[in-house]
Amino acid sequence: MSRIGRQPITIPAGVTVVIEGKLVAASGPLGELKVLLSDGISANQQEGILNIVKELENNDTAEKYGLMRTLVNNSVVGVASGFSKVLEVNGVGFRVAIAGKTLTMSLGFSHPVVYELPENINGKVDKNVITISGADKQLVGQVAADIRQLKKPEPYKGKGIKYATEHIRRKAGKTATKG
């Protein structure tokens, strides 16, 4: 029994939601996102409130009920205010620059690493802090994970790309003991 699925979704001002069969389309100031609902699940809208409803009572709909509500809510919140992830680049000589949709990073390799941002994703660089933002929560998270994967933080000196909220467990290095 999903408690998340039963919660109503409030539609903020400036966002319009259109329901066409199993397709829920939300459009707002940051763009348009569409969610295809699973079989046995539908949506209905009344006076600025959107509800996700189970049409059938079986294991499949019970499993996906909360997921569908969360996906629809993420699309409504995404087109209204958007989502963002903040990454920090730590290391001597590590630099980041952005030009348009191209992120160029010096990460200690023999060559600069170039990463092209997807179409609906925006990037901002302030010193060695990268901010990835966009309307699609899944795509923002995936782009941030892809950028982090280019140079994961290492546990000895903490060099690499990490999330701003991430804590790197540091290890003690070799201790030179001469007896």
pLDDT for the residue 179: 53
Token couple for 163: 């999330």
Q: Rounded to whole angstroms, how far apart are CA atoms 179 and 170?
A: 27
Q: How many CA atoms lie within 13 A of 129 on its CB side?
A: 7
Number of domains in the chain: 2
Residue 48 per-residue DSSP state: T
Token couple for 108: 């200690």
Last residue of a domain, one of 27, 46, 80: 80
**What pLDDT tens digit does each residue of the chain (179 aa) get?**
558 889 999 999 999 999 999 999 999 999 999 999 999 999 999 988 999 999 988 998 988 999 999 999 999 999 999 999 999 999 999 999 999 999 999 999 999 999 999 999 999 999 999 999 999 999 999 999 999 999 999 999 889 999 999 998 888 888 756 65
pTM assigned to the model? 0.88
Element at 179 (helix H, strand E): none
The residue count of the chain comes to: 179
- Same structural domain for residues 90 and 75? no
- Same structural domain for residues 41 and 94? no
- Same structural domain for residues 52 and 100? no
What phi, psi does 64 have (nearest 5°)? Answer: -100, -5
> What CATH number does residue 64 fall under?
3.90.930.12
Residue 98 resides in a domain: yes
Domain span at 89: 83-163
Last residue of a domain, one of 80, 110, 139: 80
